[in-house]
Amino acid sequence: MPQDKKVSLVVIRRLPRYYRYLSDLLSQDIRRISSKELSERMNVTASQIRQDLNCFGGFGQQGYGYNVEYLHEEISKILGLDQGYNTIIIGCGHLGHALANHPGFKRRGFRMIGMFDISEEKVGKQIAGIEIMHTSSLESFIEKNPVDIAILALPKEGVLDISQRLIASGVKGLWNFSSVDLEVIEKGRVAVENVHLSDSLMTLAYKIQERETYKNQSE
């Protein structure tokens, strides 16, 4: 039964992980897998896997388990990876450069069709085969080439202005690498996914500290 009510974000965030493990299984030529076996590989409970998948429908078979290829395909549909997304990058610093060259994206249907920067000296150069344009030509570009996703890899000072222009131009999703919480500002007007690298690093610092104190306690 296909998705009677809104699925919570914690479940959604686990789907890419399932997808990843299923890809691995496929490349090992494993054709079927039970929730129990998968749960051991992933270090989660089998219950959770079954619950998660059943938010979207019954993909398995009693006594058999899940067909790896089928489930892989279904999750890709759920995530919308079969849609294809025209993607641009705003900000061609080191990070924008790295993201443009990230191998995984193209493979999953994210087509890089434009790169933008505010620096005159970068404009005209190429990154990953794409010519850098000046940010001022953002609107005219999007008008000719519909854009689904914009990757924000620019300093946070410029983010607010740019994101408003992007939304006005009809961009559907923002992948934000700057340290502002865009979803708070643009609440509901666009899909936002933040990647707060600094936050993640701070979390690591905490985990290290925690581990040290834990170690000392058990001595």
Partner DNA sequence: ATGAATTTGTTAGTTTTTTAACCCATAAAA
Partner DNA sequence: TTTTATGGGTTAAAAAACTAACAAATTCAT
Per CB under 8 A, residues contacting its own copies are 12-13, 15-17, 19-20, 42-43, 78-81, 83, 85, 93-95, 97-99, 101-102, 104-105, 108, 110, 148-149, 172-173, 175, 179, 181, 184, 187, 190-193, 195-212
Q: Which residues of 9-38 are buried (b: 16+ CB within 10 A; e: fewer)?
A: eeeeebbeebbebbeebeeeeeebbbbeeb
In angstroms, the CA 76 to CA 120 distance is: 39
Q: Quick check: 68 binds DNA (CB under 7 A)?
A: no
Give the nearer residue to its own copies in terms of CB position, either 54 or 137: 54
219 is in the binding site of which of DNA, its own copies, none (Cβ under 5 to 8 A by kind)? none
Fill in the per-residue mask, 15 to 44: x = in contact with DNA (CB under 7 A), - = not in contact: ------------------xxxx-------x
Give the nearer residue to its own copies in terms of CB position, either 30 or 202: 202
Q: Which of 46, 113, 160, 191 binds DNA (CB under 7 A)?
A: 46
- DSSP result, 32-70: EE-HHHHHHHHTS-HHHHHHHHHTT---EETTTEEEHHH
Give the nearer residue to its own copies in terms of CB position, either 68 or 95: 95
User: 21 near 49, Cβ under 8 Å?
Assistant: no
Q: Are strands 65-67 and 130-134 parallel, antiparallel or unpaired?
A: unpaired
